Structure 1
Amino acid sequence: MASILVSFLGGKSVSSRVERYNPTENRWDLLNPINIPRFFGHLFSVHSSLFLVGGATVDADGNVVCVDSIEKFSLSTGQWTIICTMQNPRSEFGACVMNDRIYIFGGYNWNLNQRSCNVEYFDTDTNTWSSLTRLEQPLTGLAACTLTLYHRACERECGFCVQNGLSHDLYKA
Structure 2
Amino acid sequence: MSPSETPKPERSATPQTHSRRSRLKAWARDLGLLAFVFFAISAWQSRNTVDSGQAAPDFRLSSVDGKQVQLSDFRGQRVLLHFWATWCGVCRAELGSLNALHDGLGSDEKLLTILSPDCSLADARAFVQEHGIRYTVLLSDPSTTQAYRLRSYPTNYYVDALGQIDAATVGMSNRIAMGTRLRLAR
TM value normalised by structure 1 = 0.25
Q: Which has the higher contact order (CA 8 A, sep 6+)?
A: 2
- Structure holding more helix per residue: 2
Larger Rg: 2
TM value normalised by structure 2 = 0.23
- Structure holding more strand per residue: 1
